[in-house]
């Protein structure tokens, strides 16, 4: 067991998956000799060779489309899209093809592929490098959407995604790549998909988050604890298909719910969670559901970005509002 | 300042038979085999019969919106004629003739166009892709298939067909480019039928030919008379065998003409002169090959009558089979979303069952 960063955990999971399954190939821009701009694919080229680690020309739609062709032929492609700002051209491939190939052909052709991409802001990156488009993907039936919140979870969820027979988008929080460090055992054990994880138990308010916001929610829970408020923190981990049961069970217990994400408010995935809580836990609610999110604006460039992102303080404030309500 | 030619290229155009069925230039070797020629002819007639039946079914409310291949049957028939069974076809949505020749059944095609997903669960060519409706978006799939074949060192080829409209798309450009860089075993075929719904070829691209898009991708590009099935078969065969032998990808531009409306929902008279269509009927592929076969003694009036009867029986039986096939059970809406049904979807499915039962209280009529 060694302490590794989230990006190293991704690297370990990729190497493990390639080691155990010859069908796994990695492709994308600069994933070979460069090892990926964040080094997620470092050393893979040297270890597995140019037939399994493919530097592609600069063509996002084709990276996704080629992965579909490979997957339909029995490979297990893991594609990297360098930043989520460049991921929009592949929505066509994912929505029109990858996510529906099994349905369209009644299971004759399937699409076991993973698209990895860094997501979110907070690293003072240039324009188009800080977006959080998870809700767009979560709206596509048949596409699994996964956002890890820690090195351990990144390792296990990525292995599970690669082993899964369905297509998945795997969004890696950029700000955690190097900041989050944790003991990760490279044991090849995956973490179950389609499950929310209770990170911390509490009885007064449920804080729901994914990706980098899980850490902020945990910090908020620490702050709240100082004032005697016991917050339960849930890491959603897989957005689609959503494990609403874990969230509903928690809110029925606490009676209060704060959902947080970096993406804009309107149409964000927090709205889906709030709706489900409203449908299934309304009578348990002691206060309106709070959403702590980015704003419905273009994400600001680095000089102002800290004012855009939700953080532990905003989450704690929202939790206190729910406590004050009733 | 000095200047010199940095690169130059030519685009060859090939044709075996002129519109009247007369031979122009040397015929390919396979044309010496009369049986093979009649096999190609049968495939053209079968495509056209299927097409006529599909349009008739649609016009009488028994099939969904249908994209006819009238007049351009020779493109996919010629291309598929050059494929081996183990090759992989990645079609657009107007390659019915080629799909039938690959072993997709008329019943499956009727099911698909009649609104039933089982029509894409081909019993025959299991690895062929289903049609691709989003224009050109399937070109990268063929590249992925070709990459898989190359990585496994299998002597197989991916064949991708799309239209002149698709040739304007970015995903097609990306696909061609990567296939060129990686020298993949893939053949791209542009079925240039001169019309992308209402936009004519001249408004699609300022390039002199669409075949020359191959040059920018570093691969062979040629034009072929797409209404001449012999020329199509010959050009596709050469390109496919080059790909099979590790000599990389090719692009063929097949010059043909869409004699039909874009689909059964379209009315081409809104944007296209009937006189243009009338003159293009003089070049269509079925009559052209029949004239050649008749002139060379490979085909008689009796053969023709027999083939038309035989084809009508097959297509009518397939249509009846389609019409007699009940819709798939309701649960199929959910069954293929993921490999295993997630609990959330299971509860949505249950509510669908409940809704179906409420609107059709006779439980037997609701097939799960």
Name the architecture of domain B12-324: 3-Layer(aba) Sandwich (3.40)
B351 to chain A, any CB pair closer than 8 A? The answer is no
Contact assignment for B120 to A105 by CB distance below 8 Å: yes
From the list A313, A196, A207, A197, the residue with the least C-alpha distance to A251 is A207
DSSP string, B181-242: HTT-SEEEEEEE-SEETTEEGGGT--SS-STTHHHHTTSEEEEEETT-HHHHHHHHHHHHHH
User: Hey, what domains does chain A have and what are their CATH numbers?
Assistant: 2-184 (3.40.50.970), 197-325 (3.40.50.920)
Q: Give the pLDDT confidence score for residue B25 in this predicted structure.
A: 83
Q: What does the mean pLDDT of chain A come to?
A: 97
User: Count of A–B CB contacts within 8 Å?
Assistant: 138
pLDDT at B11 over 90: yes
Q: Residue B70 pLDDT > 60, yes or no?
A: yes
Dihedral of the alpha carbons of A85, B173, A103, A71, in degrees to the nearest 10: -80
B176 to chain A, closest Cα gap in Å = 10
Name the nearest CA neighbour of B299 among B91, B124, B43, B41: B41
Report how far residue A105's alpha carbon sits from residue A118's, in angstroms, rounded to the nearest whole number: 32
Instruction: Check whether B363 has a pLDDT greater than 70.
Output: no
pLDDT at A211: 98
* Residue pLDDT, tens place only, B231-248: 999 999 999 999 999 999
Is residue A286 within 8 A of residue A236, CB to CB? The reply is no
Rg of chain B over all Cα atoms, to the nearest angstrom: 22
| CB-based contact A99:A167 (threshold 8 Å) | yes
Domain ranges of chain B: 12-324, 332-365
pLDDT value of residue A23: 98
Please write the tens of the pLDDT for every residue from A190-208. Answer: 999 999 999 999 999 999 9
Chain B residues with beta carbon closer than 8 angstroms to that of A51? 151
Q: Above 80 in pLDDT, residue A106?
A: yes
pLDDT of residue A166: 98
Using one digit for the tens of pLDDT, what is the confidence trace for A262-289?
999 999 999 999 999 999 999 999 999 9
Do residue A141 and residue B337 have CB atoms under 8 angstroms apart? Answer: yes
Residues in contact with A29: Cβ distance below 8 Å, sequence separation at least 6, in sequence order? A55, A56, A58, A63, A80, A82
Of the candidates A144, A83, A121, A94, which has an alpha carbon nearest to the alpha carbon of residue A264? A121
B298 given a catalytic annotation: no
- Predicted TM-score (pTM) of the model is 0.97
User: Which chain B residues contact residue A166 at CB under 8 A?
Assistant: 338-339
Residues B97-151 have pLDDT tens digits of: 999 999 999 999 999 999 999 999 999 999 999 999 999 999 999 999 999 999 9
pLDDT-based confidence at residue B368 (cuts at 50, 70, 90): low
Q: Taking all residues of chain B, what is their mean pLDDT, rounded to a whole number?
A: 96
Q: Could you give phi then psi for residue A175, rounded to 5 degrees?
A: -70, -15
Determine the residue among B117, B144, B151 to mutate to test chain A binding: the one whose Cβ has the most chain A Cβ atoms within 10 Å: B144
Alpha carbon distance A223, B59 (integer Å): 69
């Amino acid at each position: 067991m060694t302490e590794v960063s989230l990006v190293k955990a991704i690297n370990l999971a990729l190497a493990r998956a390639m080691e155990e399954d010859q069908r796994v190939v990695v492709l994308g821009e600069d994933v070979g000799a460069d090892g990926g701009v964040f080094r997620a694919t470092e050393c893979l080229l040297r270890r597995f060779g140019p037939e399994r680690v493919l530097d592609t020309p600069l063509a996002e739609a084709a990276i996704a489309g080629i992965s579909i062709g490979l997957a339909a032929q029995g490979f297990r492609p893991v594609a990297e899209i360098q930043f989520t700002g460049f991921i929009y051209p592949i929505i066509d491939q994912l929505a029109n093809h990858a996510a529906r190939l099994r349905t369209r052909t009644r299971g004759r052709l399937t699409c076991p592929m993973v698209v990895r991409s860094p997501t979110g802001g907070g690293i003072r990156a240039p324009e188009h490098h800080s977006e959080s488009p998870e809700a767009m993907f979560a709206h596509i039936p048949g596409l699994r959407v996964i956002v890890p919140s820690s090195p351990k979870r990144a390792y296990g969820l990525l292995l599970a995604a690669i082993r899964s027979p369905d297509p998945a988008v795997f969004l890696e929080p950029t700000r955690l790549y190097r900041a989050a460090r944790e003991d990760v055992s490279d044991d090849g054990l995956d973490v179950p998909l389609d499950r929310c994880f209770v990170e911390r138990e509490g009885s007064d308010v449920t804080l729901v988050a994914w990706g980098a916001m899980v850490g902020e929610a945990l910090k908020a829970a620490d702050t709240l604890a100082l004032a005697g408020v016991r917050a339960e923190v849930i890491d959603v981990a897989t957005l689609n298909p959503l494990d609403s049961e874990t969230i509903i069970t928690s809110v029925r217990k606490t009676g209060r719910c704060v959902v947080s994400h970096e993406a804009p408010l309107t149409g964000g995935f927090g709205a889906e969670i709030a709706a489900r809580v409203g449908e299934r836990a309304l009578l348990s609610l002691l206060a309106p559901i709070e959403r702590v999110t980015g704003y419905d604006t273009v994400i600001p460039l680095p000089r102002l970005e800290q004012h855009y992102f939700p953080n532990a303080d905003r989450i704690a404030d929202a939790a206190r509002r729910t406590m004050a309500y009733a | 300042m000095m200047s010199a030619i940095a690169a130059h290229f030519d685009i060859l155009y090939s044709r075996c038979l002129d519109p009247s069925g007369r031979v122009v230039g040397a015929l390919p070797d396979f044309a010496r085999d009369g049986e093979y020629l009649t096999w190609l002819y049968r495939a053209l007639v079968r495509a056209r019969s299927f097409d006529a039946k599909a349009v008739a079914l649609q016009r009488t409310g028994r099939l969904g919106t249908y994209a006819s291949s009238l007049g351009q049957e020779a493109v996919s028939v010629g291309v598929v004629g050059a494929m081996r069974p183990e090759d992989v076809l990645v079609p657009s949505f107007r390659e019915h003739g080629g799909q039938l020749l690959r072993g997709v059944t008329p019943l499956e095609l009727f099911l698909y166009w009649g609104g039933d997903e089982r029509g894409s669960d081909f019993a025959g060519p299991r690895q062929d892709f289903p049609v691709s409706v989003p224009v050109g978006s399937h070109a990268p799939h063929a590249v992925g298939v070709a990459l898989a074949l190359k990585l496994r060192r299998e002597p197989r080829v991916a064949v991708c067909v799309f239209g002149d409209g698709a040739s304007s798309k970015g995903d097609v450009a990306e696909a061609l480019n990567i296939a060129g860089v990686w020298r993949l075993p893939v053949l791209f075929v542009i079925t240039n039928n001169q019309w992308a719904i209402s936009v004519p070829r001249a408004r699609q691209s300022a390039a002199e030919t669409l075949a020359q898009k191959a040059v920018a991708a570093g691969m062979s590009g040629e034009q072929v008379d797409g209404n001449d099935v012999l020329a199509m078969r010959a050009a596709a065969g050469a390109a496919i065998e080059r790909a099979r032998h590790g000599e990389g990808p090719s692009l063929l531009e097949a010059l043909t003409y869409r004699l039909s409306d874009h689909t059964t929902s379209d009315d081409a008279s809104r944007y296209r002169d009937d006189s243009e269509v009338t003159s293009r009927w003089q070049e269509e592929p079925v009559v052209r090959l029949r004239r050649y076969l008749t002139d060379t003694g490979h085909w008689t009036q009796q053969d023709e009558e027999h083939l038309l009867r035989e084809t009508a029986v097959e297509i009518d039986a397939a249509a009846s089979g389609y019409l007699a096939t009940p819709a798939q059970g309701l649960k199929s809406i959910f069954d293929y979303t993921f490999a295993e049904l997630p609990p959330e979807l299971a509860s949505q499915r249950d509510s669908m069952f409940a809704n179906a039962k409420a609107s059709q209280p006779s439980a037997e009529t609701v097939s799960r």
